[in-house]
Amino acid sequence: IKYYKTVDSTNNAAKKAALEDAAEGTVIVSEAQGSGRGRIGRGWFSPSQKGIWFSIILRPQFLPQEAPKCTLMAAVAITKAISAITGVTVGIKWPNDILYNGKKLVGILTEMNAEMDRINYIIIGMGVNVNISEQDMPADIGQIATSLLQITGAKVSRASLLAQILLELERAYYDIKQYGFSTILAEWKKYSVTLGNNVKVISVNETFYGKAIDIDDYGALLIDTGKKVVRVLAGDVSIRSAK
């Protein structure tokens, strides 16, 4: 575990370490991030000592197209760790948001370096809003995000939660390597707040509507548009109505 007071982004620091041959399982954790990154070029609010901002380096023997499995695995591990440490039940919105009452509690940013047939490394970056009060959050972020402090009314030990997340991640990763992806996939489905809902999908080339009916063995979301079933590997999904 490499610990920092501040970095620009733990994903950037992890990428640098991975290129310098850091071992699988290396964790970069920082009290603060100057330029925390979210998906699709967004930023990530990372105030000092108020959250868990970390990235882990994996070198799985998956094919590059199987990389989304890592994001789903991380989402399951974090969901279980949050429940174990705080008793809070959260939901997973495909592919990478952990939500509580529709507000974002955790974001996951998975990045990889690969060739056509092999992954050199995968960085899974996770941001957990732990002890951020409502006053600490800029108003625009407060509209869409929450924290464990805001949910439970009490401070949560970031060290205990990080230790539990790493434990759950390790368990899930070894489980996948030994027995395949099916157990994690089943758990992901159990915690999903996306499946069964009507959704709007903004993918690379198009925006469309449909019902999220399943995810396949590669972690792709299957959307029934009424005319056909579309397989979505990357994109943004917003949930439009209850089941």
Are 64 and 111 spatial neighbours (Cβ–Cβ below 8 Å)? no
Binding mask 52-81 for ligand BTN (x = CB under 6 A): -xxx--------------------------
Instruction: Specify the stretch interacting with ligand BTN by CB under 6 A; choose among 36-44, 141-149, 151-159, 210-218.
Output: 36-44
Q: Which residue has the tokens 């949050």?
A: 82
- Residue 107 is a binding residue for ligand BTN (CB under 6 A): yes
- Tell me how far apart the alpha carbons of residues 182 and 157 are, in angstroms, rounded to a whole number: 32
Interface with ligand BTN, residue 127, by CB under 6 A: yes
Q: Is 22 in the site for ligand BTN (CB under 6 A)?
A: no
Query: Which single residue is written with the structure tokens 């943004």?
Result: 236
The yes or no reply on residue 235 touching ligand BTN (CB under 6 A) is no
Do 10 and 111 meet the contact criterion of CB atoms below 8 Å apart? no
H/E run at residue 77: helix 68-86
Q: How far apart are CA 110 and CA 137, in angstroms?
A: 24
In a 10 Å sphere around its CB, with 0-12 CB exposed, 13-18 middle and 19+ buried, how is residue 4 labelled?
A: middle
Minimum CB distance to ligand BTN smaller for 40 or for 213: 40
Q: In the stretch 82-101, what mask flags binding to ligand BTN with x, by CB under 6 A? A: --------------xx----
Beta bridge partners of 231: 222
For position 37 contacting ligand BTN by CB under 6 A, the verdict is yes
39 lies in the binding site for ligand BTN (CB under 6 A): yes
In 101-173, the DSSP E strands lie at: 103-114, 119-129
Could you say whether residue 109 binds ligand BTN (CB under 6 A)? Answer: yes
Report the residue number, 11 or 131, with the smaller CB distance to ligand BTN.
Answer: 11
**Footprint of ligand BTN (CB under 6 A):** 9-11, 33, 36-39, 42, 44, 46, 53-55, 96-97, 107-109, 125-127
